Chain A
């Protein structure tokens, strides 16, 4: 969680300095993201959103790779084809991200259906926000998951805001969790800023899915402490009081206080963790900023398994164009 926060803070500042093009911060949602991911085995699958940096960190994606992606350089796993935050790491079963809200949810259900058809005890975990619950694909994915009893766990990170719209503009329901009931499975609400509560709920849901008991939705009540993205100014739509109120519920502070009270977290330990995080991040940026852009031809690769004639023609047009 502290590494995710340090990465988040640094990425925002890199964007402000013009060193990366864009960033969508996750600060405030670390407990929801990491508490849930920790309930999974490494052979389970995750389908996160662009705000789920904490999921990538918790799955063990190296920080260098994350920066490579933010920079869009030649060592980026996405080959610099996607804008920042659209992660994807096959090695840790982290499915690459589309920006279209909720479009990954039917895919998550499909992966879980595949796991069930193959009679494996794996689980797919899909993440989405409160805004996503208004999309048709949310309902379709939940409906298919319910009908086929697919081993999928939906983590709804209800962070209060879908860019400028409050949750009350996404639903007239009392909660998002109750929507799961309409699809025939359990929906639970947890304090999404309490990492242990999230972990406990996720663990139960994952175990249920593994035992063939079907899907669960976990609504994590949390808060997006920063802007929607580096292109957003949240002062236009929410009050300083609200932000301050949630700052006092910062999930990292809360967990640290808890650990301190139990004598697990000490000042020295905290300082050494901060130093380690800082060193890791600084070195990663330094190395990744040395790496050049991907070559022009990579723009034309991977559209098809085998490059068709029109793309071959377009490569030579582009490589021969005057601007090179």
Chain B
């Protein structure tokens, strides 16, 4: 497992470090890779002249022109469907879905074509592209600008699902995704698009897909989280540390393929497990992690596996801060688990 900053130490000498936020990290990764790889085509709603509603593609239209940064009609299945066609044709398209909540019209394209093309053609065709979408709550967006529906994609064989939580990982994982051979669903935690800032190298570096990261070391409890919830988990762990409980926080970074070795290594160390995500509890990815731990490391467990998650309701508007897990809920779970 990698520790925070381990990637920095491996960086090539001479890289400039700049403090940027997550949305800037997305922009930087796209811009730098588009300069290196002329097969990359950015397409989506308002991604061109407007630079995207979150400004993730700002400036790309001016630099690369309308043939590489394509403003499309308002139709998600068309965005993903035509991107799949371009990918089959040997291009490297990066479709943006404005909010993950709007991806469902394209769900058929993703499940029917994108995920299965290599398999169904007996390996004759492949279809690499990166679907970028801002996801998650915390911006007062109601039902349709807040969802965290990563589990749908994790359940579909053939897709990789990547969710960064820091600017460094955003850039490094997006660059890895752009160079991967498989279709990648790249979910960006929009709640912390601008709130989380950190030093990121200006040049080329990658963070490997399928590798988790220990964001905080601990010996008493393993807390698994990803995306915006990583930071909530960290806060909860800090609160618990005041009463001497040492929580290990593991940032999964990739849900598929999951870094099972990192998960089990931490579980064997602590024997206590909390899984934290903002998606609804039932059928959420936490259930998969819990099942894997039960299958492979149940003898190490000193207590029940606890999930701290969003509720099994549509995402609410006024009461969103009660719906979303927070540091207090994480602390409560930690205390409960230590007492069990």
Question: Hey, which bits of chain A sit against chain B, CB under 8 A?
Answer: 45, 76-79, 81-82, 86, 88-90, 95-96, 98, 100, 103-115, 117, 124, 136-137, 140-141, 143-144, 147, 301-306, 308-310
Question: Hey, which bits of chain B sit against chain A, CB under 8 A?
Answer: 41, 67, 72-73, 75, 77-78, 80-91, 105, 108-109, 112-113, 116-126, 157-158, 160, 180-182, 210, 256-258, 260
Contact across chains for A305 and B182 when beta carbons are under 8 A apart: yes
Which residues of A lie under 8 Å from residue B72 when comparing CB positions?
144
Which residues of B lie under 8 Å from residue A136 when comparing CB positions?
77, 105
What are 27 contact pairs spanning A and B, CB under 8 A?
Answer: A77-B121, A86-B120, A90-B121, A90-B124, A96-B125, A98-B112, A104-B113, A105-B81, A106-B85, A109-B78, A109-B85, A110-B81, A110-B87, A110-B89, A112-B85, A114-B90, A124-B85, A136-B77, A137-B77, A140-B73, A140-B78, A143-B75, A144-B73, A302-B123, A304-B118, A304-B181, A305-B180
* Given A98-B112, A103-B112, A90 contacting B119 (CB threshold 8 A): no
Q: Which of B75, B83, B120, B126 is close to A140, meaning CB atoms less than 8 Å apart?
A: B75
A98 to B78, CA, bound (A): 16
Determine which residue in B72, B75, B258 has the highest number of CB atoms from chain A within 10 A of its CB, and name it.
B75
A277 to B12, CA, bound (A): 65
* Given A100-B108, A106-B109, A77 contacting B122 (CB threshold 8 A): yes
Contact across chains for B120 and A98 when beta carbons are under 8 A apart: yes
Residue of A nearest to B76 (CB): A140
Determine which residue in B78, B113, B119 has the highest number of CB atoms from chain A within 10 A of its CB, and name it.
B78
Which residues of B lie under 8 Å from residue A90 when comparing CB positions?
121, 124-125
Contact across chains for B108 and A78 when beta carbons are under 8 A apart: no
Contact across chains for A305 and B118 when beta carbons are under 8 A apart: yes
Contact across chains for A106 and B181 when beta carbons are under 8 A apart: no
Which residues of B lie under 8 Å from residue A114 when comparing CB positions?
85-86, 89-91
Among all A-B residue pairs, the 9 with the closest Cβ atoms: A110-B85, A106-B81, A110-B82, A114-B89, A305-B181, A96-B121, A308-B257, A140-B78, A90-B124
Which residues of A lie under 8 Å from residue B82 when comparing CB positions?
106-107, 109-110, 113, 144
A53 to B127, CA, bound (A): 24
Contact across chains for A106 and B121 when beta carbons are under 8 A apart: no
Residue of B nearest to A124 (CB): B85
A77 to B120, CA, bound (A): 9
Contact across chains for A304 and B123 when beta carbons are under 8 A apart: no
A79 to B116, CA, bound (A): 13
A209 to B123, CA, bound (A): 30
Which residues of B lie under 8 Å from residue A82 when comparing CB positions?
120
* Given A308-B257, A309-B257, A107 contacting B85 (CB threshold 8 A): yes
Residue of B nearest to A106 (CB): B81
